Chains A and B, each alone.
Chain A
């Protein structure tokens, strides 16, 4: 069990990196691009950007500046995302959008939104265990 605990503690360093990662995956207009208006079979959102896929985690260091930047950036992206959501109507959900930095790949708005819920939920699962490791706090 001692060994097991050590392995868990090893992942503590991820805690500060979390917000940066979520901010990097925001669904704002800069990420989603212009609508292509095509229906059809849906391609998945790529899980990693082609260049420097780990930069959002590797660059997360324990300085106040880095922490402030992460939360400011994350909240700013949320505002942009909310503004984008305001422009989407129910009937738009099946519309296809080109995926930023993925030549020729598209995603439906519905899949993009469900994917964001899945990303947040899975990373909240990571945050659950990281926070419990740090100070024992649990709960939703």
Chain B
């Protein structure tokens, strides 16, 4: 298995974890905050992961000229703050995340295994295609850790 295929398989597993952690929750549960004054919620994390996939795959690797997702006028807190218990907000978050994952997959379909070596900024800790993919896995894993405890707090459900 190539390195690119292995990294993609890890990413697929982590996306599935997000689906499992959010499965069956009501809008109220999805928007429930962790501990006051924290704004962290399952719904906010889904919005943030959509933003993160979009940033790395669409804006950075594809150099698309689009505004960031869920960062209106540079307001980074909006991803979490505006994740409210509303059916439309919930539907938008999951639709946007899944659509962005599909766009990211299309970007990765266009990569050759050798493209992992491509460096656009040798001075940046995340300055190559490989670094970007590892960073995405790291982001997903850390946020899955948040989802683990959020879900356990909501209804006691645990597991991978």
Contact residues in A for B141 (Cβ distance below 8 Å): 117-122, 125
Q: Closest CB-CB distance, B56 to chain A, in whole Å? A: 15
Cβ–Cβ contact A4 & B137, under 8 A = no
Q: Closest CB-CB distance, B14 to chain A, in whole Å? A: 8
Cβ–Cβ contact A122 & B148, under 8 A = yes
B1-43 contact mask (Cβ, 8 Å, vs A): 1 or 0: 1010011001000100000000000000000111110101000
Cβ–Cβ contact A128 & B35, under 8 A = no
B93-116 contact mask (Cβ, 8 Å, vs A): 1 or 0: 000000000000000000000000
Contact residues in B for A129 (Cβ distance below 8 Å): 34-35, 40, 145-146, 149-150
Cβ–Cβ contact A125 & B144, under 8 A = yes
Q: Say whether, besides A8-B34, A125-B148, A132-B35, A117 and B134 are in contact (CB < 8 Å).
A: yes
Q: Say whether, besides A11-B153, A42-B6, A5 and B36 are in contact (CB < 8 Å).
A: yes
Q: Across the two chains, which residue of chain B brings its CB closest to A124? A: B142
Cβ–Cβ contact B142 & A128, under 8 A = yes
CB-CB contacts below 8 Å: A1-33 with B: 1, 4-5, 7-8, 10-11
Cβ–Cβ contact B137 & A8, under 8 A = no
The reply to whether the CB of B75 lies closer than 8 angstroms to some CB of chain A is no
CA distance A5 to B38 in the complex (A): 11
Q: Closest CB-CB distance, A15 to chain B, in whole Å? A: 11
* Interface class of chain A by DSSP: helix
Cβ–Cβ contact A11 & B145, under 8 A = no
Cβ–Cβ contact B38 & A118, under 8 A = no
CA distance A121 to B134 in the complex (A): 11
CA distance A123 to B141 in the complex (A): 8
CB-CB contacts below 8 Å: A86-130 with B: 93, 108, 110-111, 114, 117-130
B119-160 contact mask (Cβ, 8 Å, vs A): 1 or 0: 000000000000000100111111111111110111010001
CA distance A108 to B147 in the complex (A): 28
Q: Say whether, besides A122-B144, A126-B145, A41 and B32 are in contact (CB < 8 Å).
A: no
The reply to whether the CB of A133 lies closer than 8 angstroms to some CB of chain B is yes
Among A1, A7, A127, contact of B152 (Cβ-Cβ < 8 Å): A7
What are 12 inter-chain pairs, A to B, with CB distance below 8 A? A4-B32, A4-B153, A4-B154, A11-B153, A111-B6, A121-B139, A121-B140, A122-B142, A122-B144, A125-B146, A125-B149, A129-B145
Q: Other CB < 8 Å A-B pairs besides A119-B141, A121-B139, A129-B145, 20 of them? A: A1-B36, A4-B33, A4-B154, A7-B152, A7-B156, A8-B34, A41-B1, A108-B6, A111-B6, A114-B7, A114-B137, A117-B137, A118-B10, A121-B145, A122-B144, A122-B145, A125-B142, A129-B34, A129-B146, A130-B149
